[in-house]
A = this chain, B = another copy of it.
């Protein structure tokens, strides 16, 4: 729990800009001469900010713990995931623009393909590029007092929200996470009547939706065209929408998010940020980082106190084990950050939500580098932004949950704990 926050009015004019490069942290890579992609990258802007600012390492969850992207972002925004997180579903659903209320249960879902025996033959239904119409066909159904709402995301993805008296998130996935096996029944994960009821209604809903989707003209056309029909909802990551005090209420910050990828938009929205996705911000390696940076600066210049930029592709390269690609993408980010150096009266932080080492191709529990650049702070000797240089910085090794307090502090916006 992060008990030190108090809502208080304050008169600081200092703004906060947080830039998170997803999965940027790494380990030494042989193909980069024993440097990490960040250490190896040519990144004059980041290095200048590191030189003029202060550096450190961040365990976004805790030492050695491998963070998810959802829990780590909650932490970086100062919200303890042990208090606010029960599953990814609500954040994905918020990310596709669904309005969740406290107590709603949500899943992230794929529209997939099953055969006549309910064996999954394609978890992404041939990577169907839009499920808006199909989502509408299975939206708004009510079973046993639970209302099922569906909204399409990008491609084959969608959000599924369950609302009703006594709905529970303590239910298993309905997704075996692999092709070739039968869809699995959703099961209660605890002995409560709520979990039992939710699992039962969910199974009824999935079968009912399967019937509707099988008959849907979109799928008839797909079959006619030799494409796999998107005829089953594969649901996972059930979570209950908690009561999350918005950033405005908690920190007095009018906050905005600039992100391309759904999950990050969802987490940002859940903590009360206004969410922007400028044209060209794709959440992919081809993303327009410059467009994101100028959008964030524009927002800070037009009434927002806090802006969060999310850049996804560093993580993608890590998952692919592509150290050179990751390095080059970091160079692209660095170039796009040039306008940030013109900001005044702004506390800028650059960090990652977790490490995704090219050697392991998955999230690791290695701490992430952090730089904070602001006109009024204690500089250190670090001249270069990187995992090992940051390990020598004056911020030492902090937790993700500490970052928000540090940024509020440097922006002159923190409240005193005590008197």
Residues on A facing B (Cβ under 8 Å):
3-4, 27-28, 36, 57, 61-72, 81-82, 85, 87-88, 237, 357, 359-360, 363-366, 376-380, 387-388, 391, 394-399, 402-409, 412, 414-419
Which of B62, B409, B412, B417 is within 8 Å of A81, CB to CB? B417
The A contact surface, by secondary structure, is loop
Q: How far is the CA of A365 from the CA of B409 in the complex (A)?
A: 5
Query: Closest 10 interchain pairs by CB?
Result: A68-B418, A64-B405, A71-B418, A365-B409, A64-B406, A63-B402, A396-B397, A391-B394, A88-B419, A64-B409
Counting every copy of the chain, the complex holds: 2
Q: How far is the CA of A394 from the CA of B363 in the complex (A)?
A: 19
- The answer to whether A414 and B376 have CB atoms under 8 Å apart is no
- Contacts A67-B416, A70-B418, A380-B388 known; 8 new A-B pairs at CB < 8 A: A62-B402, A63-B398, A63-B402, A65-B409, A88-B419, A364-B414, A366-B409, A396-B397
Chain B residues, Cβ within 8 Å of A67: 416-418
- The answer to whether B388 and A418 have CB atoms under 8 Å apart is no
- The answer to whether B360 and A376 have CB atoms under 8 Å apart is yes
Chain B residues, Cβ within 8 Å of A237: 419
Chain B residues, Cβ within 8 Å of A387: 378
Chain B residues, Cβ within 8 Å of A380: 388, 391
Chain B residues, Cβ within 8 Å of A388: 378-380, 394
Chain B residues, Cβ within 8 Å of A414: 64-66, 364-365
Which of B82, B364, B378 is within 8 Å of A409, CB to CB? B364
